[in-house]
Structure 1
Amino acid sequence: MDLEPILALIKALDNSSLQKLKLSSGDFTLELEKGQTYIVEEVPKETRHLEVSRQKEEAQTTKEAQKSNYHVITSPLVGTFYRAPSPDAPPFVEVGDIVSPGQTLCIIEALKVMNEIESDIRGRIENILVENGEIVEYGQPLFEISPL
């Protein structure tokens, strides 16, 4: 088998905007597919200032929650916060709901793994501090619960 034509096809695919190439001839089939490419973008300097401001607000929110006798559920990891198991499903909990220990409150997706965050006390959901689809940090407050 002559590899020169195959190598020429690989080079042509690499230099083109095509992502996939399939070639069949008789009982011979050749499929070539480009790997994923990643685009790295520089984060604007303003973002850093916003993050610092947000962290200060979160710290203030935590202090306020402690003063108000709420039990605060915090994020155990960095990831994306989801209120429901799927986009078309109802949220796990709403403000005013009574929750029990072990009850799922939300999901945090990290590295394509869905991590269920559960309540560790019985109480009423007073505040949901994060928006659906928002990136959360380790230790960031997610829920304020009034113990029952």
Structure 2
Amino acid sequence: MDIKQIQELIKFVSRSGVNEVAIEQKDFKITIKTNQAPTVITTTVPAVAPQVLPAAPAAQPVATTASDSAPAAATEDTSKYITIKSPMIGTFYRSSSPDKPSFANVGDEVSPGKIICIIEAMKLFNEIESEVSGRIVKVLVDNASPVEYDQPLFLVEPM
């Protein structure tokens, strides 16, 4: 790789929003890291209207009442959490290999710089670090499943 190719790669990385890219060839290795922090946005999940199947008419009001209060409570609870979102498209992994423990589980405390998962993109395994301090309350993605850019991965209760 010559200097012009490296400069173009740096420009591409800065425009793409990726935080880190590593390229390794026979006699050449380069890692480009940006100072951009992943975007962390707090969102509220809107309540979903419950679907009532045609059954006994007497059971419908009870089911509807219980369902109406549950989504409202869930909406209130998630508003105080920070959502950690995927900084890239790829495959989400909770651990470095199947026989290793997960980087982050529900109840674990995280701090800025702590690795919380890996996202594989184009045969590169990108370690995703937490940008917030808090306690993980929910993992929103299944292990080894594809994720999109800006897809919520974790809910974190700030500390």
Q: Is the structural similarity TM-score above 0.5?
A: yes
TM-score w.r.t. the length of structure 1 is 0.56
Higher Rg: 1
Please list, as runs of the form range in 1=range in 2, the aligned pairs for 1:2-41 lying within 5 A after superposition. none
2:44 corresponds, among 63, 68, 76, to: 63
Aligned residue identity for 2:118: I
Which residue number corresponds to residue 120 of structure 1?
Answer: 131
After superposition, the C-alpha distances for 1:104-123 in whole angstroms (9 at most, x for unaligned) are 00000000000111111110
Q: CA–CA distance in 2 between the matches of 1:121 and 1:77?
A: 18
Q: Does 1:140 align with 2:151?
A: yes
Aligned residue identity for 1:87: P
Q: CA–CA distance in 2 between the matches of 1:78 and 1:100?
A: 23
- Name the Cα RMSD after superposition: 1.9
Which residue number corresponds to residue 88 of structure 1?
Answer: 99
Q: CA–CA distance in 1 between the matches of 2:158 and 2:152?
A: 16
* Structure 1 position 63, deviation (Å): 2.5
Gaps of 5+ in 1: 1-61
Gaps of 5+ in 2: 1-42, 46-74
After superposition, the C-alpha distances for 1:22-75 in whole angstroms (9 at most, x for unaligned) are xxxxxxxxxxxxxxxxxxxxxxxxxxxxxxxxxxxxxxxx43279521111000
Instruction: Please state whether the residue corresponding to 1:142 is helix, strand or coil.
Output: strand
Instruction: Please state whether the residue corresponding to 2:44 is helix, strand or coil.
Output: helix
